[in-house]
Structure formats: C-alpha cells, structure tokens
Structure 1
Amino acid sequence: MLQCFLCDSSFCEKPFLTTCRSNQYCATMRTDGKFSGITFTVVERFCILDAVCALLNANGTTFIASVGVGQTSVTSTISCCNTDGCNRNNFDAPNKTPNGLKCKSCRNFYDEQCDSDMVCVGDQDRCLNDTASLLPYDYGFGNNTLKGCISRTFCQPSYFGNVTCCEGSFCNKGVSWLSEINFSLQLLSLISIVLLM
C-alpha cells in the first residue's frame, strides 16, 4: 500500500504522509477560481481510487479541466502517481493566455439575453451551451441555461455528467439566462465528488 501526502489545510503548507488503501494512488489537485471579483487557489494532496485516475487518464500526466461563465471561472489541475510520497509536486498557475476562441456568455445574475462576448483562455477550447438544474432542489430557479468557455475535458459525459459543448467561435449563440452563483456551487460540488472518491 502506498504512502501518500495529505494536506493540513487548503494552502497545504505542511503536508503529512498517510497510508492509502490497496486500490488507491496518490494525487495532487490545484483548483484556481474567480467568483464575484474574488480569486482563490486551493491545493489538495490525497489518496484517490486508481480507477478514477484511469478514467481521467491522469496517471503520470496532468489532467486539466477549465470553465468560464461570465465573471466566474474555475480551473482544476490534477495528477496521479503510484510511488511512495510522489504527490508532493506543485502546479503552476493555470494558463490565462487568450487562445483565439470566443463564446457567448452572460454578464451577471439578471442577464436574460446572455449575448456578451467572452474570450476563452488556456485549455478552454469549446463553448458551453447547456441547460441544467443547478441545485439538487429547485429553490425556484428551475433549469438555467449556461453559456461560456469550457475545456473539452469537462465535455466528456463519463467525467462530469451530460455537459453540452460545441466547437467554433460563437457556436453557442441564443437567448439564455444564467445563475453564476449556482454554477459555482455546481463546479465546487463536482470537485468535491472527485476528492471523495
């Protein structure tokens, strides 16, 4: 069984070794986000099911998932490894260089047109055009349409549910409505699910 590092806090300043289960690898994940003008970075080191690493194709490589909707963005970088103490590695900040793709997005919570132009960055190589119930309970919001930039890794149904993506600038044109707050909660929930596996 592997010895892997766990974090003492969200900043992972003093990671410590623990013994994982026999079907687990070591993993490191960095999540960078922006919400309502506030930026954050969270680093996690943990044991993860080897099947999840295989699903993400992240054993010995880096898996990057990135999405931007309006003023909200989240980029997660994860890697798996299978030797003792191998998840002490650090990741650089995500690539924020514009990549030439542009997508339609929403300006804010009350935007019913969602016809703003958004410049995609880094690994965001698709446009998001999805309708989903963003909370487990309705809370009066119902199904909301999400538009923005997204990486192809978030578009894989086997990873994060049925996310609708399209290729090419402004392929997600159309009238929609967005709740950035709820979308951020959904993304953080997905990240939590990966951590708990």
Structure 2
Amino acid sequence: MDLQISVFLLFILFTAGHSFSCYVCSNLGDSCADQKLKTCPSGSSKCISLTVASQGRKTRQISVNMKMKECAVDCRSGSMNVGISKVSFSCCNTDQCNVQDVPDPPNIPNGMKCFSCDGHNCSNTVSCSGSEDRCIKAKGIVGDQSIDVKGCVSKSICDSTFIPNVQNITCCAGNLCNGAQSVTQSVLFLCGSLLSYFLMH
C-alpha cells in the first residue's frame, strides 16, 4: 500500500511541473528569427503559426509580409484569401510544436474563383489557391459598424464554431457562389478578427 501511494505521489510531482508551451513571435518580415518559448495560459492546448501577406490593390504583388506565433485555445489549419490579403494558418497540439514558420500563403490557383470586396465594390473576383475550396461571406462588427467580407477560404476555417466580432459566416462550394454586392467598408476586418480569435482564445 505504501508503495502505491509513493508511486502516485511521484507521478503527481513529475507531471505537475510540466506546462504546455509554444513558440511566440510577431515579426514584419520573412521569418520569426526572434521567437521565444512561452508557457501557455491555462486552457491553451494548441500552438498556432501564421503568415499574413498583404497585397497592393492594383499590382496584386505582396507588399507586406508578417509572421506570427502564439498559444491558442482552439485553432484550425488552412488559408484564406480576401483579395488584398492572404493568411496561412498552421495549428498543432503538441508541446512546442510551432517551431517552424508557416510558408507564405499558396499562390498556385486551384481553378476556383470567389467574389471579393475592394472598398465599396464586392464584384471583384479572386482566384483561390491551395486548400481554399470554399467561398466565404461574413459580417464583421466594429463598434456599431457592420463590414461585409468575401473571399476564398479552406473548409477547415469555415468549420470554426465561434469567431468573436464576426457574424453570419457562410461558406459555399462552387465558383462565385458567394454573390456580388456593394459594401461600404474594408475587407481587412475579417483577417483581424480571425487573428484575434486564434491568438487571444
């Protein structure tokens, strides 16, 4: 009996000291060379890495590249393209698993197209690439303003159950299935909301 209690207490001592940790960084540039190891807060059981590539409106050439890593409560791997920016997400669930940077968002079209928004106009189209097999349409809420967002997205991102400040998320399969309409705000909000969801929760 004493041996069983001793083994149990040793097990508790060895396992209690181990905390889940992820690499963290936020870097405007091509890599997370300055990443640090962070003990994740209670409830976090996943690590996320992401790359955001913002493009010039007219040239569609990448003008800003940003790499980020953080702890997450929940996240999904995949990518999203809303015309003026692309985001690649990589999510893993083992200790310190996000040591590698996520590659830049895919640039090889997969044959699918979706409508995207550019200022007031949502009749623009964007070519989907990589795993982006769905079109997305969503409403973002900033204060008392509503923002329409459209583009290409991976099914895994569509399957997220809750994204703060984003409502009426609908995803559809098929070319241009997310419809063209006029809007009044920028499309960058959805990227910001997704990032805040993945990084803060």
TM-score (normalised: structure 2): 0.69
- Contact preservation (8 Å) 1:28, 1:88: no
What's 2:152 paired with? 149
Offset at 1:36? 4.1
2:68 and 2:53 mapped to 1: Cα distance? 12
Q: Does 1:34 align with 2:54?
A: yes
2:128 and 2:120 mapped to 1: Cα distance? 22
**2:120 paired residue among 106, 110, 118:** 110
1:147 and 1:20 mapped to 2: Cα distance? 33
Task: Using the TM superposition, name which of 165-174 and 17-26 deviates more.
Answer: 17-26
Structure 1 unaligned runs (5+)?
57-62
Q: Does 1:135 align with 2:142?
A: yes
Q: For the structure 1 residues 13 and 166, does the alpha-carbon distance in structure 2 shift closer, same or farther, using more than 3 Å as the test?
A: same
**1:67 paired residue among 70, 81, 88:** 81
Q: How do residues 40-119 of structure 1 correspond to structure 2 at under 5 angstroms?
A: 40-44=65-69, 46-49=70-73, 52=74, 56=76, 63-69=77-83, 72-83=84-95, 85-106=96-117, 108-111=118-121, 114-119=122-127
1:189 and 1:175 mapped to 2: Cα distance? 22
1:177 and 1:18 mapped to 2: Cα distance? 41
What's 1:59 paired with? none
1:8 and 1:117 mapped to 2: Cα distance? 33
Q: Does 1:121 align with 2:129?
A: yes
Secondary structure of 1:94 counterpart: coil
1:169 and 1:23 mapped to 2: Cα distance? 39
What's 1:194 paired with? 198
User: What code does the residue aligned with 2:130 have?
Assistant: G
What's 2:9 paired with? none
- Contact preservation (8 Å) 2:50, 2:89: yes
Secondary structure of 2:98 counterpart: helix
Offset at 1:7? 3.2
- Contact preservation (8 Å) 1:32, 1:74: yes
Structure 2 unaligned runs (5+)?
1-17, 58-62
The Cα offsets for residues 134-171 of structure 1, whole Å up to 9 and x where unpaired, read as 41222xxxx44433322223323514353112211122
2:162 and 2:88 mapped to 1: Cα distance? 13
What's 1:158 paired with? 161
Secondary structure of 1:78 counterpart: strand
1:22 and 1:133 mapped to 2: Cα distance? 28
Offset at 1:31? 2.3
- Contact preservation (8 Å) 2:108, 2:129: yes
**1:175 paired residue among 154, 162, 181:** 181
Q: For the structure 1 residues 47 and 133, does the alpha-carbon distance in structure 2 shift closer, same or farther, using more than 3 Å as the test?
A: closer
The Cα offsets for residues 59-109 of structure 1, whole Å up to 9 and x where unpaired, read as xxxx1131324xx123131222323x4432232222111011122334x31
Give percent identity, aligned residues only.
26
